[in-house]
A and B are shown apart, each in its own frame.
Chain A
Amino acid sequence: MTITKTQRDILGSSALRPDGISKVQGDFAFSSDLHAENMLWGATLRSPHPYARIVSIDVSGAWKIAGVECVITAEDVPGQLTYGLISEDQPVFARDVVRYMGEPVAAVAADHPETCRRALAAIQVVYEVLTPLTNPEHAIDASHEPIHPDGNIIRRQRIMHGDPTATAPIVVEGTYDIGMQDQAFLGTESALAIPDHDGAGVEVFVATQWLHEDRKQMAKCLGMPEEKVRLVLGGVGGAFGAREDISLQVHTALLAMRTSRPVKMQYGREESFFGHVHRHPAQIWMRHHANTDGRIVKIEARFVFDGGAYSSTSSAVLINGVTHTQGPYQCPNAVVDGYAVRTNNPPCGAMRGFGVVQACFAHEGQMDKLAAATGIDEVEIRLRNIIHTGDTMITGQVLESVAPLERCIRETAAMPLPAEMGSHPHELDLPGGSGRTADRRNIVRGIGWGVSMKNLMYSEGFDDYSTARCTLTNGSVELKFATSEVGQGFVTLAPQIARSVLGVDNVTYDTIDTQIGSAGSTSASRQTWMSGGAVDGACRMVRERLFEHVGAVHNIDPLRLAIDDTDIIDTVGTLRISVQEASANFSVSETYEYHHRKTEDLDENGQGNCHVAFAFVAHRAVVDVDVELGLVKVVQIATAQDVGRVLNPMSVTGQIEGGIAQGLGLAVMEEIIVTNGIVRNPSFTDYLLPTALDAPQVVISMIEVPDPQAPMGAKGVGEAPCISVTPAIVAAIRNATGKSIDRCPVRPQDICF
């Protein structure tokens, strides 16, 4: 079969993925599919202890195994011994001390993965086990010695806004716990490093979110100039934040440099749980003061994010958390204190929703408590408090983004509820599914709400930019960018932009690598805005050159020319010439760097214009609960999301449905269970992800109010779907059961006892 399309794949169309055919056929090369002649396999030895002093490491046993070509430890790191996204506090290999279970201690390269496993088993590490710091409060109260030279507090941030003494007649408070979620992308970490023949450089094919940042950190640790480390994006099997930090990059490159042979490393699922950072578990206390009409007067809050052993992006996650204390609601007065702390638990960092997921779980729990205390309905209480463009937030920043929040809530509320459960439901539609635990009479239905606001792009003064090049030759366009395609569909969008701006149809893109300027990370809902802005900018520059060319040929002022479908027209004359024809024997290439507007750091009172822009969303969840057994089936999620402008309806739908499934996971099943620093469930047998039978019906409305600040009017859509869906589901469970549940994921025992 072949796919035939009649419509042009411009902005606004559901253009198909250019990599779709290779992906359905199994031809698409994920980084784990790569091979090189004479290749070795690499593997990592990891600490079994959450906190221990390394007394000695004896690698001689590994060297004796036939097929082993290289064994490396911290002693072999040629450059900087530590790395990190914000502060460089994480060792490439632990040297004196291990600070979390799974911390890398050594790595080997050998002819077969099984040889690697045997080699790792032959390395003798003597540990002196220390008492781990696992309770984040002990990091704050200094009752445990510092576990790292940088101390146990990664960052503290207060927010003081308005009148701290303000109060109001209605006061509700709660303490909310959010479990440690894993990104659980399907394609585990993998890389292939190929050393240059002259031994001076290395080329690394890797699945990552940010090629240039990886390169920067790698070059430092490898002790090599950045231009000698060339990164190429290996096919990425999902990311969701887990590829923001580097994992096996330095190890693989170092093994390749040492052996002068290509080395491939790939984590198995268990290792992947130790190989990347997770979503921060958090405990959040909030107290809302409101008038009897439900209007919020003041919010007090305290946040504790457990950052685990190394800082990763914890300080930025903390800022996102505390600055979203108010959620999408007006709040004139606020007193907030927040900590991101270091413990001997697994390191935590970026995951879709980045700090806002945690804040939202708390503020939405509070809104429901406020509704109950004032007797105002859950939807109405939210509507009464919503924030508008022009309002001042608790950071003192004025909300400049378009904020169609009322439409989000009202359109969600207007969506039809699912049909009542019949008297003889299919067993798979009941909570418990094929386990046949429930009968119809055991089931209660509940409805819950969640509304959220999420910052887009990087904050706090970071000069965030993306680069793209557009080359027009003979009516065809080739784009070049370093934007990581992790599944989100930038490779679909970028050609759509070029087609729209330039009136061409044939658009291709070059290899995604470090042979052009940085695109920044595929995170923070930023690539449509940032790299989209860069591609749009580059294409517009090319269009100017083309118009100049056509103007010169036809003796027309280029300013009079415009693109109409696939033609160039004279807006005040009669000329109409196809772009194809106009660009015959014409070639032009332009590079554009898109920067978003500047932001500032927060001051010690948490005041400052720290965020770029915001997106809004509402979720309504309908759940069926078997109250006696504590089992839940999410029946329906209705959502209306502020997307600015829909550039590709099918892609946006995919982001919304996918984000909802992840938020559902956090609501009812996904949690890395850590006791005393030991991870108890590092496998897909025990870390449960939603299956097809857990997927609810999803009803979507995309609210289109183009944002004038956004390059194409479009806001990033990646994170919003997974934020307020979690509190909405938990609220629905509370509604069904009448129990007060202030943690997620909700476990059966949280419901039935």
Chain B
Amino acid sequence: MPIFIPSSLTEATQLLSKNPDAHLLTGGTDMMVEVNFNHRHPDTVIALRNIPEFQRWNIDTASGLVHIGSSVPYATMEHGDLAKALPALAEAARTVGSPQIRAAGSIGGNLGTCSPAGDSLPVLAALDAVVHLQSESSRRSVSFAEFMVGPKRNSRLPNEIITGVSIPITNGWQGYAKVGVRNAMVISVASVCLAIHDNKVRVALGSLGPTIIRCTESENWINSIGLANIDHSLAKEFADHVRAESRPIDDHRSTAEYRRHAVGVLAARLLLRGVQK
């Protein structure tokens, strides 16, 4: 039978081993667009929606980690305790598509697609998240930086399923901002996640290069100055540092020039929000 709806992870990984050509399906919000537009012709599909642990999330204060199962939809991340623990993820989730897309689309699917415009990804990058992968015979966890290797390319092996992510809880401010040309339901033209932990700033950029870009140089520069000293003119300089680390391109959604400009503006604004100036 070409459609499988396994009810456990073990069953799912076994099915994937037996059917190496199978397409994994969670919310379908990426995959079905490809099918409808004739870009994908699945013969075998493994639907992951019935795997209980994929739908769970928890906040583990002891380890300082939030675990999110790969099928958890954006709608769940937008509100409640999960949003309180990870405000930047909540803000990013809220920008994804429409309510209908957020009800179906999942973090696992965002990782599976691994588009540079994927909105959860800059958050995972900035927060040093770890992606969990499991195959029939093995299990591993990789940092987000190791996971995303190119535009729509990741280091998942063909027999592996993304089971979820673990995201360290930060002790400072965090936020997300995304530019699109409409006030809702729009793919990112440029986005930034900025988080503060132990008084150190971390920044990651979406839609500004082949992968999500973690701006280590900019982080080092601003952290060497110290959060307490940040003012508007330093924020402007920070913007230039971030711009220098971006690698934007021209496409039908925008220009490289605009993206580079915008990402600096966003980074500066988030920084000022973070230090409440």
- Partner-B contacts on A (CB < 8 A): 117, 268, 270, 428, 431-439, 442, 628-631, 633, 668-669, 673, 680-681, 685-686, 688, 690-694, 747-749, 752-753
Contacts and interface: CB of A to CB of B under 8 A. Distances in A.
A749 B191 CA distance: 16
Interface stretch (B134-142, B156-164, B178-186): B178-186
Contact of A633 (B38, B183, B191): B183
Nearest to B97: A685
Contact of A431 (B94, B183, B261): B183
A691 B183 contact: yes
A435 B95 contact: yes
A442 B235 CA distance: 14
Contacts of A438: 269
Given A690-B182, A748-B189, 12 more contacts: A431-B183, A434-B94, A435-B178, A435-B191, A436-B178, A437-B177, A437-B178, A439-B269, A629-B262, A686-B252, A691-B185, A748-B262
Contacts of A691: 182-185
Interface of B: 36-38, 91, 94-95, 175-189, 191, 252-255, 257-258, 261-262, 265-266, 269, 272-273
Contacts of B273: 439
Contacts of A629: 179, 262, 265-266
Contact of A435 (B36, B38, B177, B253): B177
19 contacts: A428-B184, A433-B183, A433-B184, A435-B179, A436-B177, A437-B266, A439-B269, A442-B269, A629-B262, A629-B265, A630-B258, A680-B252, A681-B252, A685-B187, A686-B253, A688-B186, A691-B183, A748-B254, A753-B257
Given A437-B269, A691-B182, A694-B184, A117 B38 contact: yes
A270 B252 contact: no
Nearest to B264: A628
Contacts of B91: 436
B40 to A, nearest CB: 12
Query: Of A431, A435, A437, A680, which is in contact with the most chain B CB atoms at under 10 Å from its CB?
Result: A435
B179 A270 contact: no
Given A270-B37, A434-B94, A436-B177, A693 B184 contact: yes
A437 B179 CA distance: 7
Nearest to B255: A749
Given A628-B265, A748-B262, A749-B257, A434 B179 contact: no
A744 B73 CA distance: 37
Closest 7 CB pairs of A and B: A433-B183, A680-B252, A693-B184, A435-B178, A749-B258, A693-B183, A688-B182
Contacts of B258: 630, 747-749, 752-753
B95 A434 contact: yes
Contacts of B255: 749
Contacts of A434: 94-95, 183-184
Contacts of B175: 436
Contacts of A439: 269, 272-273
Contacts of A753: 257-258, 261
A669 B181 contact: yes
A432 B265 contact: no
Q: Chain B: interface secondary structure?
A: mixed
Contacts of A752: 258, 261-262
A734 B20 CA distance: 57
Nearest to A687: B252
B21 to A, nearest CB: 19
Contacts of B180: 432, 435
A163 B38 CA distance: 61
A437 B94 CA distance: 13
Contacts of B261: 749, 752-753
A320 to B, nearest CB: 29
A268 to B, nearest CB: 8
A324 B223 CA distance: 60
Nearest to B269: A439
A748 B181 contact: yes
A747 B181 contact: yes
A536 B176 CA distance: 60
B270 to A, nearest CB: 9
Given A629-B265, A748-B262, A749-B258, A432 B183 contact: yes
A685 B30 CA distance: 12
A681 B186 CA distance: 13
Nearest to B262: A629
B4 to A, nearest CB: 21
Given A437-B269, A442-B269, A673 B183 contact: no
Nearest to B272: A439
Nearest to B253: A686
A436 B273 CA distance: 11
A434 B261 CA distance: 20
A435 B180 CA distance: 7
Contacts of A117: 38
Nearest to A120: B38
Query: Of B94, B184, B191, which is in contact with the most chain A CB atoms at under 10 Å from its CB?
Result: B184
B183 A694 contact: yes
Nearest to B184: A693
A633 B258 CA distance: 19
B76 to A, nearest CB: 17
A748 B191 CA distance: 15
A694 B182 contact: yes
Given A270-B37, A629-B265, A749-B258, A673 B181 contact: no
Nearest to A428: B183
Contacts of A268: 36-37
Contacts of B252: 673, 680-681, 686
A61 to B, nearest CB: 17
A686 B94 CA distance: 19
A412 to B, nearest CB: 25
A366 to B, nearest CB: 27
Nearest to A690: B182
A436 B93 CA distance: 12
A681 B38 CA distance: 17
Query: Of A433, A436, A686, A753, which is in contact with the most chain B CB atoms at under 10 Å from its CB?
Result: A436
Contacts of B272: 439
A121 B33 CA distance: 19
A350 B182 CA distance: 26
A442 B265 CA distance: 11
A681 B180 CA distance: 15
Contacts of A435: 95, 177-180, 186, 188, 191
A428 to B, nearest CB: 7
Nearest to B185: A691
A686 B186 CA distance: 8
Nearest to B180: A435
Contacts of A628: 265
A665 to B, nearest CB: 10
B117 to A, nearest CB: 11
A228 to B, nearest CB: 36
Contacts of B188: 435
A306 B201 CA distance: 51
